[in-house]
Amino acid sequence: MALTHEVLPRALVAFRRKHPKVTIHVEALHTPQIVSKLLLREADIGFAFSPVVPPGLTHETLADSRMVCVAPKGLLPPAVVRAGAVELTALGDVPVIALDARDPVGLSLSQACREAGVGLQAVVTVQTYHAALAMAQHGLGVALVDGCTALSADASKVDVLALQPELPVPVRALRPAEGRESVAVRSMLRCVQQVLMAAVG
């Protein structure tokens, strides 16, 4: 879902320039639903963060995003904001918009917190990254989200800071393992990858 707000629209503009006659159907789904659609051959391609790839599907890493900290203006000390980065251990005493621990990114974050000995103070738990971002923009707390979601952040309401230690968030394309890949699918993959590389490196 996170890619449908900034990354996918930009990629579709480039794709439509190359393939103006190809019609595209976009669904914003959670990873389990993406996997199901692909296994049932109801979709040609899906994009997800760090998914466990089941038998019957293949994947390609398009880019490596990172987790970032999106904090309401004034919540974090000015010196931290000026530095442009915040330590995960420094977030133990601030309200946090938590990601569902069953989500791949939420699971990675939970593991990093355990390893760092940090207990985050979750005030709200959400299923989508954009819900976390919206909550942060309304001042409810810090959101720890992927870099793609942070592209939608309103800089007048929040500060976006690098999270230390770095937590990678691979962006992967998923496809059915059997069958030929069409020219259109390959082109779409390249368009999405180009946007990702420009946006999150």
Same domain for 152 and 95: yes
Q: What pLDDT, on a 0 to 100 scale, did the predictor assign at position 201?
A: 67
Taking Cα atoms as reference points, which of 7, 46, 44, 12 lies closest to residue 183?
A: 44
Same domain for 108 and 37: no
Beta bridge partners of 33: none
Query: Domain range for residue 120?
Result: 65-168
Residues (pLDDT < 50) of the chain are none
Q: What pLDDT, on a 0 to 100 scale, did the predictor assign at position 1?
A: 60
Count the domains in the chain: 2
For the entire predicted model, the pTM comes to 0.86
Same domain for 135 and 78: yes
Alpha helices (H) in the chain, listed in sequence order = 7-18, 31-39, 78-83, 104-116, 129-137, 147-150, 183-200
Q: What pLDDT, on a 0 to 100 scale, did the predictor assign at position 49?
A: 86
